[in-house]
Amino acid sequence: MGRYEYDLFVIGAGSGGVRASRVAAGFGARVAVAEHHRVGGTCVIRGCVPKKLLVYAAHFRDDFEDAAAYGWRVEGASFSWPDLIVRKNAEIARLEDLYARLLDGSGVELLRSHASVLDPHTLLVDDRRVTASNILIATGGWPHVADIPGVEHCITSNEVFELPELPPRVLIVGGGYIGVEFAGIFHGMGSEVVISYRGEQVLRGFDDDVRHALARDLAAKGVRLVLGSRLLGVAKQPDGSLSADLSVAGVQTVMECDAVLLATGRWPNTRGLGLDRAGVELDSVGAVVVDEYGRTNVPSIFAVGDVTDRIALTPVAIREGQALATTLFGGGAPVPVDHASVPSAVFSQPPVGVVGMTEAQAVDAFGEADIYQADFRPLKHTLSGRDERTFMKLVVDSATQRVVGAHMVGADAPEIIQGIAIAIKAGLTKRDFDATVGIHPTAAEEFVTLREKRTARRLMPSSAAG
C-alpha cells in the first residue's frame, strides 16, 4: 500500500459520488465511499425518482375524467395514499440495493458511516482516522427551513414522501420547482392546494412567458396561488389541523390547513464536514467553491453535484463525477464539464421543459433576439374539454439566427425538450428547424413550424453593463 490508504475517498453516495467512485475504481484506483444515510442520495431516496412516481399517480384522476370523452366509463375508481407509499418505498429500496451492488461490483468499498475532513489528506470516519490522496465532497443539498414560530409543525421535501395519510388541505410555501411539482401531486390526489410565494410569479429564473403559462394552468386546475405573501408562523390546533399566519401584501391573514410544506429552496449540505479545518473555501450559502474541473482551493480536495451550488440536476452531478474521476485517474488531459445549454424539466401539471437562454438572457447577451411562440389547446383536449393549454417558444439570436433557447409548458414537455436540446447544443439555426419536417399530429411539430416572429430588444442598459 502507498502513502495513503485510498487513492480517492468520497463523502456522499448520491448520483455524483457513486459515478465518480465507480469510474475511478474502473481506472484501478483504491476507492471508498462514506454514506451515513441511504445509498442513492437525493435523487433516488427523496427526490427525482419518488417524486416522478407520485407525479405518475397524480395524473390518473385527470385521465379517468378525460376517458369519458373518449367513450370509456371508469366506475368506482378510488385512491389509497398508503398503498401508493408502500409501492413507492419498495421501488426505492430496490434502487438503493442496486446502487450498493453496483459499488461492490466495481470494487468500491462502501462505509455506512459519517465522515468529516480533518486535514487535506485525513478523514474521521465515525471514530477512526483514514487517509486518502484525494477527497471528494459529494454530499448534495438539504432543504432550507426558515426560523419561524411553529416550524416544527411543517414538513419539507424530505418528509413529504413519508406522510402516513394524504392531507385534505395543503399549504405549500415556495413557488420554485419543488413547490409547483407537489402542488400538482397533492391536487391530483384530491387535496385542496394553496401555494404561498413571496415573489410576483412562480418559477423565478425561468422564462417569463413560461412562468405565466404555468401559473395560468395551475389556476385553471384549481390550485390557488397567493403571490406576494410570506409565512409568519404556524400553530397546531387541538384537532390536529394547522393554522398558518400569512402576510399578503402587508395584510396579515390566517389560513387553515392540514399540512404545511416548506419548499423554499435547498442549500448545499456542508455543515459538519470539517471543511474549515482543511481550509476549503465556501461561498455565502455554504457551497464548495470549485473550478471547471471540480477542484477546490485545496489541491487534494474536490467537489461535485449540488454541494457546489452550480446546476442542481442529477445528470449534471453524474457528468461532473465522471469527468473528475477521468481527470484524476484517466491518464489524459483534465476533463472539464460544459454547463452551457443544460436541459431541465419541472414535473408540474402540466410539466415544463426548457433548454438554453430565456428571452431576457438572450436580449442581455445579444442586444436583440427573435422570438417565435405558440399557445394552443392540444388535440387531446378538443374532446375532453379540459381547460389546459400548451405553450411553446423559441429564442433566436437575431444576428446569427442560431436557436439559443427552447421552452415548453404542456403534456410531454420534458420528453420533447430532450430532443430539442441536442439541436440547440449543436448550434442549429432557425433555418435548420424550419427545414425539418414535423410529425403530425403532435405538439412537438410546432417547434419546426413556428413562423410568426416578434423582436425582443434591450430597453435599458443591463445591470451587468452598469
Contact between 265 and 176 (Cβ < 8 Å): yes
Q: How far apart are CA 435 and CA 128, in angstroms?
A: 64
Whole-angstrom CA distances from 395 to 362, 424, 436, 437, 454 are 7, 10, 17, 20, 10
Contact between 262 and 173 (Cβ < 8 Å): yes
Question: For this structure, is 440 an active site residue?
Answer: yes
Is residue 385 left, alpha or beta, with left meaning phi > 0 and alpha meaning psi from -120 to 50? left
Instruction: Specify the DSSP element, H or E, that contains 225.
Output: strand 224-227
**Which residue is catalytic, options 114, 144, 339, 440?**
440
Whole-angstrom CA distances from 372 to 49, 342, 421, 430 are 33, 21, 17, 10
Whole-angstrom CA distances from 448 to 200, 389, 394 are 32, 19, 10
DSSP letter assigned to residue 99: H
Contact between 152 and 145 (Cβ < 8 Å): no
CB-facing half-sphere around the CA of 305: CA atoms within 13 A: 32
Instruction: Give the SS3 label for residue 344.
Output: strand
Return the C-alpha cell found at 19. 459515478
Query: Quick one: which of 23, 88, 22 has its CA closest to 54?
Result: 88
> Which residues are annotated as catalytic?
440
